[in-house]
Structures are given as C-alpha cells and as structure tokens.
C-alpha cells in the first residue's frame, strides 16, 4: 500500500486521525516483532503466513498494541487493517530501548516478550513419512531467558508445537519423536542449553574463543558474562535467573561444536531426549572422537606450508620434498581406572575403578593385599549408615589410610594442590614464534615406608613425559626418604590419572594428532601412535620424526619396516644438552646433522624442532579445566581446542605469506 493512501485512511478515521508519525512507526515496528505470535493462533484454513498478513489480530496482541500505543482497544483492528500490509512487508525493524520497557510493562503478562520469541523454524510437520500437511496449531508455551550478545539477558517465550498424526514435537532447535532428539540443519540463532535457557550463538562462540585464546574456565566465562551484560533489575519480575551457569557454558560449547561438525559432514545431530542430560551428548562426542582417530584432524592431515615442508634440489637436479613431524608429551591427566593401563572409562569421576573392576572397591587398596576393606556402621536417627573404608584390618594398612587422609587435611598440602590446579598459562595462546616454558602440572607419586610401627608417607614429583623403555608394571620412586633400608608399600587411596597427552606437531605449529598415554610414555606406544596417526586416509608419512628419546625409539623401530625410510632424530637442543656423547647409537643414528635436507642453503636449521614443546605450553593451560573430566568430554574438548587452534594457526600462516595449502 502506498504511504499516501495509508496517511489518507488514518486521517479519515474518527479516532486514528490524531496518531503521530512516531506512533504509526511504533505500531508497525511492534507488530513486525510479533509476526509469529500473530500467525500461530489463526485458524488452520486462514490464508496467511510470513508473506501474507492475517485479517484479524489475536486478542492478546490487540490488547498489547492498545496499551503500548495508547489507542482504544476497539480501534486496534482498524489500525491493523490500515497498517498491517506495511508492517508485514518490513525486512527489519530494530527495537528501541523504550520498546523493551513497553514489552515489560504491557506484554509480559500477556505472554509476549520483547527481543526474542522462540518458535520452531517451520509451522508444518516436516516428517516425510507423515501425511499431515496443514499448519500445526497445538502448542505449548513456557518462559525462558536468552543470553544475547548485543542486548544482554532478555526474557523470551519458548513455544513448541506438536503433530498429533506422527506424534512429533517441534522445538526451536530440534524435533523430538520416539524419544530421539533430531537437531535441524545449520546453526540456530539461539542454542537451547537448559529447560528455560537459550544462548545466542555469538555468545557461545565468544565463550569458546575465551577458552581457546585465554584459557577461560566455564565458570569464569559465565562470571564475565554476568558482570558485563546482566542487569539485576530488568528480569526481577520475570521469575527466572539472569545468570548463566557453568553447565550452560559447557552445554553451549558442546552443542555448538557438535552442530558445526555435523554441518561440515552434511549430517544431522541426533541424541537421546530421555534420561540424564549429562548423558545426552556423550555418544555424539565419542563418535566425533572416533572419527578423528580414524580420519585425523580435519585441517591437519592434508596441510602443507613453507614452514613444515621443504622442497629442495638434489645434486643430480631432481627436486625432493621433506616433511617433518615433531613429538612431545605433557602431563595432563584425567581420572581413569585404578587398574594399571586399563582403558575402560569410570562410571563417574568419584569412582576409583571402572565397571569391570568395580569389585576392587571392596578389596584393600594397598597394592598386593587381597583382604576385604573395613566397613564401619553407625546409627543415625535410627538408620544404619554403612561407610566403606579403603584398607583392610591390618594395622599397617589402617595406618597408611589414616596417614594419607591426614596428609590431605594439612594446610600446606592443600596450598600445593591449589597451586597445581591453577595450571600455567603462557602469555599467548596461539604462538608460532618464541619458545615457552612447559607448565609444571605433574601429579606427585606417593609411596609408603614402614619402620617398625611407624608409617612414613613419601612423595616424589612425577618424572614427566620422557619416553621410557617398555615396562611391565608401574615405575616406583627410586629412593626412600631415610635411605634404602625401609620396605616400600604402595596404595591406591585416590583416583589414578592418565599419565600424559602425546602430541604430534608440524614445525609450522599445526597439531597433527594427539593421544592419551595411560602409563609411562613407553617408546613402543609412541611408535604405535605415529603409525596409526599416519595411516588415516590421505596422510603422507613424514620424512623425519623429531622426538626427545628417539635414541630408544629408533632401536625398536629398526624391527619395523614402516620406519625404514623415516629419519628419527633428536632435536638440536636436546641432542646437545641431554644426550651423552658416549652414547654411540644415539650419536651415529639420531644426529640431525646427518641429514642435509634439514638445513637451508645458508646452513641454518630449516624447521622449528622445538614446536611441540611450545605447543604443549599452550595445551598445558587447560590442565586445571580438564583434570576432572571423564574420557568422552576430555577427548572432545581437547580435540575441539586443537581443531580451533589449527584454524587460527593456518590463518596466521596465510597472513604471514607462508602459503598454507592441502595435498
């Protein structure tokens, strides 16, 4: 409708003739934001939609517009007949600050929120096997809050509709049928992270980037949002908290990352809609982790650039390429089964043993003792309360348990653990330049000594992630606190943790692969990791592998033809400072000077062989965040951080003119 005709119709109306231009625009703007609220209550046979305005306004919308604009209720429908086409044709109409106050004053009580109304993407059943083709009108409405990027915390009404034919419920992010939640294709504007909570996808990305670039914990990300964007007074009457929680941040991280992954794969994310919420995404995370193991990191497997691949001319005039991988480990551990090198996950992070070895909770936790633990019973309010200990009736074993938990209550121990839990944050998260110190995040190794009736608890620092020759059992601390005359005893009173994370890194900083080592970093396991990592589709075996203890690894690799054409050197710094000149095998087989392709035309080392330690300095910043995670979340989180870091590193390589590409 032409604007002149609109103005004429308004001027001819006995009530609306005195509307101001601001009031006309406000009516149109508010109506535009209530499109879905106007459409949903219309009869099934009403010819209307997002392109065609309905003839009649719902009563709730009419009451709201009457109060908001200040026109009589009986005149609202006339105003709609004049301005409806114009309001429906608007492509966008941002709300003014005063509009939010208007919605709070007149709309909330009518079921109308301001910035956000969360409808399903479609108002018809999309189940291809369902014969229903009419718009779905059976709806459920409930209050929600939305953590937005631009407007802070906003109230919202969350509407889901139901198809009675195929019994599918349609929500804003997903549909539910037969207990299965299927997310729609693409990334929704608002991610549902709780029954009444939604997060703007921009906020979810902001939280994830805070973790990537600043090592933010989920709790700190939530606190920062609250202190920056929450308004304690605005939502007082809404009845829902305006503060995001740690769980909201983690759910936003997981859902966003899974949806992006499924978009890249051209598939739909499906998860259970029943059971405990903490289990809904576990299988989906495990599936993504399994695919990365089988197919590799998406941006790393085929990556090459000037800093990680050298093309050089041989003396005979032939051109060759040289690709290098650098390996190192870092002591980031998570809870795991107390049986040495058992890889089965714990039921939860309070258990000491997996389901298979659950019976060991009832056996004395002193290594080598098979007696049952002591169970103490007390009566509280007439009820018998049983408390299971961790040691048997032997006095020495009881003394060991008491010594352990007495130590845990000591102030200095708690301070040490607090310091350890803080982790070490390098100065910059994405660095391809200066070498940084590896953070000290090792867990202590504890052993008990008996001297008569006295039990002494001795702690030693974890030796770290240096590769060792294979062992059949756990390493023991080598020296007693009072000499070597005391009898050592070991016990598992606390949860065991995985030993370290091993990384394979290209010299340019792109992380190629990661693996969890359950026990000490045996070189045989390292060799298996390398073979598996470079056996994924499209992978090219490296020409050289740099590893701190290649002198041990190469001796085992000589029995495997896969490594025949792979150079296995120790990086220059470790070769000069950590490896003995008298170690003949190392000097004859692991000296990088043996390979001229590792040097440029000026005789300088072409590749950055310290890159793995630099990368692990970044990875170590997540120690305090992931030390209590179980395997599904632990692997998913680290793999996602590595993926995002690789994206950042490749972008930096391109900006610096190092020509990143794929083979």
Instruction: Name which residue leads in pLDDT, 581 or 372.
Output: 372
Tell me what the mean pLDDT of segment 366-373 comes to: 93
pLDDT-derived band at 508 (thresholds 50, 70, 90) equals very high
C-alpha span between 527 and 553 (Å, rounded): 7
| pLDDT at residue 510, rounded to an integer | 97
Q: What is the pLDDT of residue 409?
A: 57
Proportion of the chain above pLDDT 70, given as a percent: 88
| pLDDT given at position 436 | 41
**Residues 115 and 81 sit within 8 Å (Cβ to Cβ):** no
Q: Is pLDDT of 438 > 60?
A: no
By three-state DSSP, how is residue 221 classified?
A: helix
Give me the pLDDT at residue 412, please.
46
- Asked if the model's pLDDT at residue 525 lies above 50, the reply is yes
Q: Where are the alpha helices (DSSP H) in 424-568?
A: 523-533, 550-557
**Dihedral angle, C-alpha 67, 71, 74, 78, nearest 10 °:** -120
Which string of b and e fits 501-540 if b means at least 16 CB within 10 Å? bbbbbbbbbbbbbbbbbbbbbbbebbbebbeebbebeebe
C-beta of residue 557 within 8 angstroms of C-beta of residue 528: no
Is the model's pLDDT at 202 over the cut of 90? Answer: yes
pLDDT in tens, 405-424: 775 555 545 555 555 555 55
Calculate what percentage of the chain has a pLDDT beyond 90. 57
Average pLDDT of the residues in 458-476: 56
Residue 426: what pLDDT?
57
Per-residue pLDDT at 64 exceeds 50:
yes
Mean pLDDT of the chain: 86
Q: How confident is the model at residue 47 (pLDDT cuts 50, 70, 90)?
A: low
For residue 472, the model assigns a pLDDT of: 43
C-alpha torsion sign, points 638, 641, 643, 646: negative
Q: What is the predicted pLDDT for the residue at 36?
A: 86
What is residue 448's predicted lDDT score, i.e. its pLDDT?
83
Domains of the chain: 1-114 (no CATH), 116-280 (no CATH), 295-333+499-662 (3.30.420), 347-494 (no CATH)
Region 236-248: mean pLDDT is: 92
- 182 has pLDDT over 90: yes
pLDDT recorded at residue 421: 57
CB atoms within 10 A of CB 283: 13
pLDDT at residue 441, as a whole number: 35
E strands, 286-410, in order: 303-304, 309-313, 319-330, 335-336, 375-380, 383-388
**Residue 475 predicted with pLDDT over 50:** no
pLDDT band at residue 445 under the 50/70/90 scheme: confident
Q: What is the pLDDT of residue 7?
A: 82
Residue 433: band (very low, low, confident or very high) from pLDDT cuts 50, 70, 90: very low
Tokens of 419: 């310091």
Confidence category of residue 603, pLDDT binned at 50, 70, 90 = confident
Q: Sorting pLDDT into bands at 50, 70 and 90, what band is 509? A: very high
**Residue 306, both tokens:** 């000037």
Q: Tell me, what's the pLDDT at 477?
A: 43
Please give the model's pTM, rounded to 2 decimal places: 0.86
- At residue 531, the pLDDT reads 95
Q: What phi and psi, each to the nearest 5 degrees, are found at residue 241?
A: -70, 145
Residue 108 has pLDDT above 70, yes or no: yes
Q: Average pLDDT in the 3-26 region?
A: 88
Determine the pLDDT at residue 379: 81
């Amino acid at each position: 409708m032409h604007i002149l005709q609109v103005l004429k119709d308004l001027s001819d109306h006995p009530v609306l003739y005195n509307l101001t231009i601001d009031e006309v625009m406000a009516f149109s703007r508010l109506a535009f934001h209530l499109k879905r609220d106007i459409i949903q209550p219309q009869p099934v046979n009403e010819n209307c939609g997002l392109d065609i305005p309905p003839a009649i306004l719902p009563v709730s919308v009419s009451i709201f517009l009457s109060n908001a604009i200040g026109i009589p209720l009986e005149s609202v429908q006339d105003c709609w007949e004049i301005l409806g086409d114009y309001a429906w044709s608007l492509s966008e109409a941002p709300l003014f600050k005063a509009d939010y106050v208007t919605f709070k004053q007149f709309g909330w009580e009518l079921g109308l929120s301001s910035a956000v109304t969360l409808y399903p993407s479609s108002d018809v059943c999309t189940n291809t096997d369902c014969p229903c083709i009419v718009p779905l009108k059976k709806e459920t409405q409930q209050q929600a809050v939305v953590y937005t990027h631009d407007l802070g915390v906003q109230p919202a009404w969350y509407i889901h509709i139901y198809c009675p034919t195929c019994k599918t419920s349609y929500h804003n992010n997903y549909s539910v049928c037969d207990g299965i939640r299927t997310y729609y294709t693409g990334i929704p504007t608002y991610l549902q992270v709780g029954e009444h909570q939604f997060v703007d996808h921009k906020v979810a990305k902001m939280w994830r980037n805070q973790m990537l670039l600043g090592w933010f914990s989920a709790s700190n990300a939530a606190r920062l949002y609250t202190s920056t964007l929450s308004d304690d007074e605005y939502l007082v009457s809404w009845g829902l908290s305006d503060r995001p929680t740690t769980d909201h941040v983690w759910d936003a991280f997981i859902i966003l990352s899974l949806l992006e992954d499924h978009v890249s794969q051209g598939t739909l994310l499906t998860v259970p809609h029943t059971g405990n919420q903490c289990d809904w995404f576990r299988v989906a995370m495990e599936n993504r982790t399994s695919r990365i193991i089988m197919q590799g990191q998406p941006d790393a497997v085929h990556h090459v650039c000037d800093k990680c691949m050298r093309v050089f001319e041989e003396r005979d005039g032939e051109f060759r390429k040289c690709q290098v991988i650098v390996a190192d480990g870092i002591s980031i551990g998570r809870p795991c089964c107390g049986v040495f090198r058992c890889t089965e996950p714990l039921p939860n992070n309070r258990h000491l043993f997996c389901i298979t070895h659950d019976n060991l909770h009832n056996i004395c936790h002193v290594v080598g003792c098979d007696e049952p633990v002591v169970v103490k019973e007390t009566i509280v309010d007439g009820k018998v309360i049983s408390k299971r200990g961790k040691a048997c009736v032997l006095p020495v074993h009881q003394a060991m348990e008491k010594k352990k938990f007495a130590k845990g209550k000591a102030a200095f121990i708690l301070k040490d653990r607090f310091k350890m839990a803080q982790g070490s944050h390098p100065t910059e998260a994405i660095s391809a330049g200066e070498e940084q110190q590896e953070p000290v995040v090792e867990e202590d190794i504890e052993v008990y000594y008996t001297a008569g009736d006295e039990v002494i608890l001795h702690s030693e620092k974890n030796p770290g992630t240096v590769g060792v020759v294979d062992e059949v059992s756990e390493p023991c601390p080598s020296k007693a606190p009072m000499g070597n005359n005391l009898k050592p005893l070991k016990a598992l009173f606390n949860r065991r943790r995985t030993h370290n994370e091993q990384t394979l890194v290209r010299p340019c900083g792109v992380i190629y692969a990661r693996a969890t080592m359950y026990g000490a970093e045996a070189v045989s396991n390292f060799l298996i990791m390398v073979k598996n990592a470079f056996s994924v589709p499209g992978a090219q075996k490296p020409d050289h592998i740099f590893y701190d203890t290649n002198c041990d690894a190469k001796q085992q690799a000589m029995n495997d033809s896969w490594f025949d054409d792979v150079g296995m050197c120790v990086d220059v710094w470790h070769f000069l400072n950590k490896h003995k000149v008298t170690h003949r095998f190392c000097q004859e087989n692991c000296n990088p000077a043996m390979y001229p392709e590792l040097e440029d035309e000026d005789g300088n080392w072409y590749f950055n062989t310290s890159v793995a330690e630099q990368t692990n300095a970044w990875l170590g910043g997540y120690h305090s965040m992931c030390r209590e995670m179980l395997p599904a979340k632990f692997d998913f989180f680290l793999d996602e951080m590595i993926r995002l870091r690789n994206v950042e590193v490749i972008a930096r390589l391109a900006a610096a003119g190092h020509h990143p590409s794929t083979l």
